[in-house]
Amino acid sequence: MATFLYRLGRFAFRRRHFVALIWVALLTLAGVGAANAPAAGNTSFSIPGTEAQKAFDLLEQRFPGASADGATARVVFKAPAGEKITDAGHKAAVEKTVGTLSDGSEVASVADPYTGKAVSKDGTIAYASVKYDVSGMELEDSSRDALKEAAQDARDAGLTVEVGGDALSAAPETGATEVIGIGIAAVVLVITFGSLLAAGLPLLTALIGVGIGVSTITALAATLDLGSTTSTLATMIGLAVGIDYALFIVSRYRAELAEGRDREEAVGRAVGTAGSAVVFAGLTVVIALVGLSVVNIPMLTKMGVAAAGTVAIAVLIALTMIPALLGYAGRKVRPMGEKSKLLGGGRTRGAGRAAKPNLGTRWASFVVRRPVAVLLLGVVGLGAAAVPAASLELGLPDDGSQPTSTTQRRAYDLLSEGFGPGFNGPLMVVVDAKGSTDPQAVFRDVGNEIKRLDDVVTVTPAAANKAGDTATITVIPGSKPSSATTEDLVHAIRDKGADIKADSDASVLVTGSTAMNIDVSQKLNDALVPYLALVVGLAFLLLIVVFRSVLVPLKAALGFLLSVMAALGAVVVVFQWGWLSGLLGVEETGPVMSMMPIFMVGVVFGLAMDYEVFLVTRMREAYVHGEKPSQAVVTGFKHGARVVTAAAVIMMAVFAGFIGSSESMVKMIGFGLAIAVFFDAFLVRMALVPAVLALLGRHAWWLPKWLDRVLPNVDVEGEGLRTASGAPSRDDDDKELVRA
């Protein structure tokens, strides 16, 4: 591995024009593809294997043309204080709005609140249900504008009017904090390298990699049914790892220059050593992201695969474009320890003054002297941070989680006020009586059985299809959609359905957004343990190959579990309990998104292994080259702590930049990943790792002899480069690369 990457780095350095041209061509090709791609259409959200999805699919078959997946809107009207919505003037304004909405080209139907009994008992609030022929993602802007204009006309008539439903859904917006995050990354790079040019290389290559990845996602969005969140996630992770991987290689290049090597040789050795760490770190991230497919939620699978593709591009760019750009930079990228004149370089150290050990060396020396105290303090601290995770409540966001400044949230609150909290989460019961001798009797029996259940406010009469063999029944719970009581009601209806199935051979299925949310949460919970086993198991095997040790990968996995649990605790504290919510712009607290735990496990594990691989390979390198285990820990920190610290700060800044997003899912993911990187990089990798390795000593690098013979030698530490007699010729490099 190290020898091949060494040759690749030298090749890219010498053939810099060719390498740069390839990447520019790929960026151009992806950009043109994105610009000419058709607009993304329906982004489906299906959950194969769940009862809610089965009911949805049944509705598609038995109620053709009903647009079961069409966008919906609820236009909610409220009369002024002391007046009724049924007053003649207000009624005329509402009916005029209904008539205007009915004229829309994409509107399937509009239910008049007065004929549809959609007026509250006190007569102050009413709503009109609007059904569209297309989904919310396919809805034309003109239809959304018409909806907003109709609502405004009713407001002008003196009514309070708000609009809820997915018809107003729009692509998430990110705030200025995303740009601030990149700015912080730039400042950290300048401080780390002491050079504007060296700092600019990781930023430039990361932006090119993200540009190629996101443009490709945009170009394929319509074909592969990719949502807007997919490109946001790819941007988030691609920027973070792209900057970090380039940072690792540029830092090693400057270290090689400081040892007196010429620039081509320094590039080759940097790519051969740090590049090997980048390859395996990238592989762990890719494994974690692609592994999300085991959950069997198509949207999550597509997000993971798209982000993994962006990570793969970041690895390839770090291995090829960084050496090419270093060739262009020439002497402007200085050896480690030297700064550019613009940043105070060129000053000489006073005579007789010895170089002071850097902070990484001093910290590692302290940890090696006090490993037990550091280990106990770190474990207790992370354990305390993880305690709130025991109170984790999962759910999917609805209009009730929107900021109170939005019309969707105000419509949600008006409906709760006028019709009860359960009105915002109606349950749709689908009765399939195709195998029954008397379907109508079955429909009545199902409705009567549901009425007897607790927490049921309203049960509408069964609405049968043309064939008369399938019907839908709407059930309004007494509790809000995200409550445990509503979840219990869903399970109770399904239990009754099992009894009805046994008696009449009719199937009773519960669907709707509330039931779908419950099924998604359950599916994700069930998949968490298998996913952990798959991802951690594969990465564990990969790290055994990298470190040629059993205990080091085991320690890495246990440390990850501590950091991810602590991060989930922090997410609960902010997004569920509301602590510091105002500071972070979290306007509404509530259940944590169902996807958050499994998503954090996947992404954080991959990113955590970045620091593990880069930091510990330096220690492994020192140990293989003859240093004592404790001294190898100090040497690893001497060369790697500054870079890992900078990489962690950069990654935190990039992730935190997405906290300003208008999308609650993106906001939560940005915060969760930023705090997870903090815990993992600064508490686990920078404190617990050296403490554990100091306690284990030589045992840390133990590997059974039979396993040592079986495992391939990937030579991440670059031993083959050190023992090789003389540098290969340029012709040898080119021939070897052609054969590879």
Q: What would the 3-class secondary structure string for 593-645 be?
A: ECCHHHHHHHHHHHHHHHHHHHHHHHHHHHHHCCCCHHHHHHHHHHHHHHHHH
* Among candidate residues 228, 162, 71, the one with its CA nearest the CA of residue 406: 162
Q: Residue 41 in contact with residue 137, Cβ under 8 Å?
A: yes
pLDDT higher at 416 or 235:
416
Q: State the pLDDT at residue 725.
A: 37
* Mean pLDDT, range 312-339, rounded to an integer: 85
Which structure tokens are listed for 231?
A: 């490109």
pLDDT surpassing 60 at residue 729 = no
Span 571-586, mean pLDDT? 81
Give the tokens for residue 302.
């597509």
SS3 call for 128: strand
Residue 611: CB atoms within 10 A of its CB come to 27
C-alpha–C-alpha distance, residues 214 and 314, integer Å: 12
> Does pLDDT of 396 surpass 50?
yes
Residues 104/146, Cβ–Cβ less than 8 Å: yes
Q: Mapping DSSP to helix (H, G, I), strand (E, B) and coil, where does residue 122 land? A: coil
pLDDT value at residue 726: 45
Q: Of all residues in the chain, what percent carry a pLDDT higher than 70?
A: 88
Average pLDDT over residues 10-39: 88
What pLDDT sits at residue 338?
Answer: 63
CA–CA separation, 667 vs 1, rounded Å?
Answer: 39
User: Measuring CA to CA, how many Å separate 473 from each of 131, 429, 431, 542, 608?
Assistant: 18, 5, 8, 53, 49
pLDDT of residue 345: 52
Question: Exposed (0-12), middle (13-18) or buried (19+): which is 567, by Cβ within 10 Å?
Answer: buried
Among the listed residues 59, 52, 66, the one whose alpha carbon sits nearest the alpha carbon of residue 132: 66
Q: Would you say residue 565 has pLDDT above 80?
A: yes
C-alpha span between 736 and 9 (Å, rounded): 13
Position 42 confidence tier, pLDDT thresholds 50, 70, 90:
very low
- Per cent of the chain over pLDDT 90 is 18
Name the average pLDDT for the chain: 82
pLDDT in tens, 440-453: 888 888 899 899 89
Provide the residue type at 164 as one letter: G
- Tell me what pLDDT residue 493 has: 92
259 three-state secondary structure: coil
Rounded mean pLDDT, 11-40: 87
Report the amino acid identity of residue 221.
A
> Could you give the CA distance from residue 209 to residue 232 in angstroms, rounded to a whole number?
14
Q: pLDDT tens across 210-256, in order?
A: 899 888 888 887 777 676 677 877 887 888 888 888 888 988 888 88
Residue 110's pLDDT band (cuts 50, 70, 90):
confident
Distance CA 476, CA 459 (A): 7
Give 541's pLDDT tier (boundaries 50, 70, 90).
confident
Structure tokens at 203: 């930023």
pLDDT tens per residue, range 338-364:
655 544 454 444 444 445 677 878 888
**Alpha carbon distance 340, 397 (integer Å):** 50
Tell me the average pLDDT across 5-29: 92
Bridge partners for 110 per DSSP: 130
Q: What are phi and psi of 592, to 5 degrees?
A: -75, 140
Question: What is the three-state SS of 651-700?
Answer: HHHHHHHHHHCCCHHHHHHHHHHHHHHHHHHHHHHHHHHHHHHHHHHHHH
Task: Give pLDDT tens digits for 112-140.
Answer: 898 878 899 899 999 998 888 876 666 78
Average pLDDT value for residue range 630-652: 85
Please compute, for residue 17, the number of CA atoms within 13 A of its CA located in the half-sphere on the CB side. Answer: 0
The full 3-state SS of 419-474, as one line of letters, equals HCHHHHCCEEEEEECCCCCCHHHHHHHHHHHHHCCCCEEEECCCEECCCCCEEEEE
For the segment 180-197, the average pLDDT, to the nearest whole number, is 78
Three-class DSSP labels, 205-247: HHHHHHHHHHHHHHHHHHHHCCCHHHHHHHHHHHHHHHHHHHH
126 strand-pairing partners? 77, 119
625-630, long-range: CB < 8 A, 24+ apart: 625/717, 625/719, 625/722, 629/693, 629/694, 629/696, 629/697, 629/698, 629/700, 629/701, 630/368, 630/694, 630/697
**Residue 64 neighbours by CB distance under 10 Å:** 11
* Poorest-pLDDT segment among 55-69, 139-153, 167-181, 361-375: 167-181
The reply to whether the predicted model has a pTM over 0.75 is yes
Contacts of 452 (CB under 8 A, 6+ apart): none
